[in-house]
Amino acid sequence: MGKRIVVALGGNALGNNLPEQMLAVKETARAIADLIEGGNEVIVAHGNGPQVGMIQKAMAELTRSDPEKYIPCPLSVCVAMSQGYIGYDLQNALREELLDRGIDKGVATVLTQVEVDPEDPAFNNPNKPIGAFMTKEEADKLVAERGYQVMEDAGRGYRRVVASPRPQNVVELGTIRALVDTDHVVVACGGGGIPVFATEGNHLKGAAAVIDKDFASEKLAELLDADYLIILTAVEKAAINFGKPNQKWLDTISVAEAEQYCQEGHFAPGSMLPKVQAAMTFAQSKPGRRALITLLEKARDGIEGRTGTVIVNS
Ligand code: ADP
Ligand code: MG
């Protein structure tokens, strides 16, 4: 029987610039169409690192060209732009691939806001560098004028740093669910979602933060009552002793084993660690839920139990 699957796409599914993305999404669409053809319901989430970096840089240049006319573009708006642009490419590639296979399904991107907690400890320790490198003078000016936080980055100059809080809730959940329940393929939670704070009344306020796409995809999978969270990335499996002579690829592991490997420091923070943590959280959230980490082009093999690292609650 078909499963409900949230697929989280990593950077390699989208490429690093416009022409790369145009090409990459074709292969990505094939991998996703394989899952749909297998009778599964698929919801697509994705990262946005290079894309939001590009947009942020372009907007910063615009401000630099005429600061009176163009005030700095909030990060939340940059994330929204990246969701639109990536969604546009993914949506078109998926539509075409499905039609080529004789599958007639609606494909839609939902601009997704994800609520974060203003009390999240991440706000006391912004550590995610974003945007272009700056001189000390440029950085000082942004600190004074806009209250930005900046960090010197390995002798290469200054960069703005923002917090990476945990996702609490998906604002457009009802809309996403309605589309999924009526057999649409939905692209949602791009770039981890547009981070927002709930404020007084019904107002949502964009937050200067970035949400990790692995954690946002996990939250979305839980809220949609998915059976599977599939994190597609640049490696076929997670490994212990990664990159060392005694490296060992992991097949099926329990949450307890994963927890032990996390504590032993086998997974790099900022790359494999959030994936394993998201996978553990999902596998633990309800009996029967499973998480898989594998290569983009191995998605179908992975779900059929032939490859990837599977994390199960046992
Ligand atoms: P994505 O864009 O898919 O989120 P990341 O670069 O953030 O990709 O994370 C995937 C990368 O994590 C892999 O390409 C690999 O180089 C790295 N990595 C770090 N630790 C491990 C590990 N223990 N096992 C496998 N890959 C690891
Ligand atoms: Mg990553």
Query: Which mean pLDDT values do the consecutive 10-residue runs of the chain (314 residues) have?
Result: 94 92 96 96 96 92 93 94 97 98 97 98 91 87 89 85 96 98 98 96 95 98 98 97 97 98 96 97 97 96 96 91
Q: pTM of this prediction?
A: 0.95
**Is residue 229 classed as helix, strand or coil in its secondary structure?**
strand
Q: Evaluate the CA torsion angle 202, 205, 206, 211 in order and state its sign.
A: negative
C-alpha 233/C-alpha 49 separation (Å) is 14
Question: Which phi and psi angles does 162 have, rounded to 5°?
Answer: -130, 165
Q: Is 166 exposed, middle or buried (0-12, 13-18, 19+ CB in 10 A)?
A: middle
DSSP state of 88: H
Q: 4: which strand partners?
A: 41
Which of 7, 213, 233 has the most ligand 1 atoms within 8 A of CB, as the residue to mutate?
Answer: 233
Angle between helices 213-223 and 173-181 in degrees, nearest 10 = 60
**CB of 78 within 8 A of CB of 52?**
yes
C-alpha 314/C-alpha 300 separation (Å) is 24
Ligand nearest to the CA of 272: 1
C-alpha 277/C-alpha 274 separation (Å) is 5
Q: Tell me what pLDDT residue 166 has.
A: 97
Ligand 1 nearest atom to the CA of residue 12, by list position: 2
Ligand 1 nearest atom to the CA of residue 241, by list position: 23
C-alpha 130/C-alpha 59 separation (Å) is 13
Closest Cα to atom 7, ligand 1: which residue?
A: 271
**CB of 171 within 8 A of CB of 115?**
yes
Which of 235, 293, 307 has the most ligand 1 atoms within 8 A of CB, as the residue to mutate?
Answer: 235
Q: Tell me what pLDDT residue 4 has.
A: 98
Q: How many CA atoms lie within 13 A of 310 on its CB side?
A: 19
Q: How many angstroms separate the alpha carbon of residue 30 from the centre of ligand 1? A: 22
C-alpha 217/C-alpha 261 separation (Å) is 22
Can you give the residue ranges of every domain in the chain?
Answer: 126-162
Q: Is the CB of 233 inside a 6 Å radius of any atom of ligand 1?
A: yes
Ligand 1 nearest atom to the CA of residue 49, by list position: 2
Q: Is the CB of 191 inside a 6 Å radius of any atom of ligand 1?
A: no
Residues annotated as catalytic are 11-12, 128, 213, 275
Q: Tell me what pLDDT residue 14 has.
A: 94
Q: Tell me what pLDDT residue 155 has.
A: 80
